[in-house]
Structure 1
Amino acid sequence: MIRFAFAAVLAIGAAPALAQETKEETCALQAQVVAAVQQARLDRVDERDVQAHILAQSPEWPEKYNNAIPLIAPWVYEQKRRVIRKESLSDAWNELCLQQ
């Protein structure tokens, strides 16, 4: 599932509007989205409400990254709670992104 979500988010990164951003910047912004979804899961926000919950907090990433939330959420929500509590999914995402 991470491969699907990752591929879908990379498609967002391939958009011409992102041409100004470096790969490192794009990966870091995607990792911020992952961290926000992970925090929502820790806060026990229902998966169906995660996008509205995150957007209500006025995230600092560019608006185009909001489209990644519903693509990333299923991957985060399928992780076991102990993984969500102990691991940084955003670090894992950033590392995988930079390898692409």
Structure 2
Amino acid sequence: MTRFALILATAAFATPAFAEDKKETCAYQAQVVKAIQTARLERVAERDVQDHILAQSPTWPEKYNNVIPLITPWVYEQKRKVIRNEDLGAGWNELCLQQ
């Protein structure tokens, strides 16, 4: 079997597992975004968001706690009207799945 055929065969078998992992990863990321959005709605100071969310014992895997400080500035720069009226977590999930 040539390398190219081997890569294609591996990709064909790995795609469903990869797609499932991607769905799961995107869902966890969306949960993080939603938690940050909720903290903003509750008027938690931006510098306190990570501590606030972690104090609530989130259900996502611990490794996703590392993205809280990376996503928080993006959520906090959104206008309050957007924060109140749009589900940023759902939007994040949709964009994540498209990548």
- Please confirm whether the aligned pair reaches a TM-score higher than 0.5, indicating the same fold: yes
AA partner of residue 24 (structure 1): K
Are 2:68 and 1:69 equivalent residues in the alignment? yes
Are 2:91 and 1:92 equivalent residues in the alignment? yes
For residues 70 and 22 of structure 1, the distance between their equivalents in structure 2, rounded to whole angstroms, comes to: 23
Question: Which aligned segments of 4 or more residues in structure 1 are displaced greater than 2 angstroms?
Answer: none
For residues 45 and 95 of structure 2, the distance between their equivalents in structure 1, rounded to whole angstroms, comes to: 26
Show CA shifts across 1:13-51 (max 9, x none): xxxxxx8x6100000000000000000000000000000
For residues 61 and 27 of structure 2, the distance between their equivalents in structure 1, rounded to whole angstroms, comes to: 12
AA partner of residue 37 (structure 1): I
For residues 41 and 30 of structure 2, the distance between their equivalents in structure 1, rounded to whole angstroms, comes to: 16
TM-score by length of structure 2 reads: 0.80
Larger Rg: 2
For residues 94 and 61 of structure 1, the distance between their equivalents in structure 2, rounded to whole angstroms, comes to: 14
TM-score by length of structure 1 reads: 0.79
The answer for unaligned runs of 5 or more in structure 1 is: 1-18
**Equivalent residue of 2:48, what SS?**
helix
AA partner of residue 70 (structure 2): L
Corresponding residue for 1:42?
41
**Aligned residues, how many?**
81
The answer for unaligned runs of 5 or more in structure 2 is: 1-17
